[in-house]
Structure formats: structure tokens, C-alpha cells
């Protein structure tokens, strides 16, 4: 399990796009007015090449399954950049 903060760009992701938290546009919880967070189940990880300041860098992302269904990624499975993850949990069943 992992959790991450949500910014406004979370709601406009296209299928296959990697989510990165935008600290300049956080999504604020309508009651507390604090940045909202979301918890998901990790199902894998991957690496992509990302251009940062015209330099190609290797970026790591986590593959996630989300209870929000089609709101996130493809059929509830999507990708979140490792730098956006705020915490990890282990679930023993």
C-alpha cells in the first residue's frame, strides 16, 4: 500500500500517463481545506526516460491499483512517480 497527495492534474490524466504531484496546484479537501491524499495498492514498478531541463534522466514510477476505478488510469490501474509517494505500508493478510 502507498499514499500520495493529490493535485488538480490528477483528475485530467490520460491512460498510461504517469502522475506527478504539483505542489503549486494541490487539490484541497472541501471540508478541511488541507491537501487531499489518496491510498492505493502497489502492484509493480517501472522505469521511464524523462527529459528534465533538456537532459534525459531515468525516472522510477509505481504501478498502482486504485479503488476509484475508471477515474484513475486504465480500469483503475495507473502510474505514480516515485517522488510523489508520501508513505508505504505493508498489509499482512
Binned at pLDDT 50, 70 and 90, residue 47 comes out as confident
Place of cell 497527495: 5
Rg (CA), the chain: 14
Question: What's the pTM?
Answer: 0.77
CA–CA separation, 51 vs 75, rounded Å?
Answer: 28
pLDDT at 55 over 80: no
Asked if residue 1 lies in contact with residue 89, where contact means CB atoms within 8 angstroms, the answer is yes
Average pLDDT score, the chain:
83
Q: Is residue 29 within 8 Å of 47, Cβ to Cβ?
A: no
3-state secondary structure of 70: helix
Mean pLDDT of all residues in 20-30:
92
Amino acid at each position: 500500500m502507498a499514499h500520495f497527495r493529490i493535485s488538480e492534474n490528477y483528475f485530467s490524466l490520460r491512460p498510461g500517463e504517469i502522475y506527478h504531484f504539483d505542489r503549486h496546484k494541490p487539490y484541497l479537501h472541501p471540508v478541511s481545506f488541507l491537501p487531499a491524499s489518496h491510498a492505493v495498492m502497489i502492484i509493480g514498478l517501472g522505469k521511464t526516460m524523462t527529459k528534465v531541463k533538456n537532459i534525459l534522466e531515468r525516472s522510477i514510477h509505481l504501478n498502482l491499483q486504485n479503488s476509484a476505478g475508471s477515474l484513475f488510469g486504465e480500469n483503475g490501474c495507473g502510474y505514480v512517480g516515485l517522488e510523489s509517494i508520501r508513505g508505504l505500508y505493508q498489509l499482512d493478510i
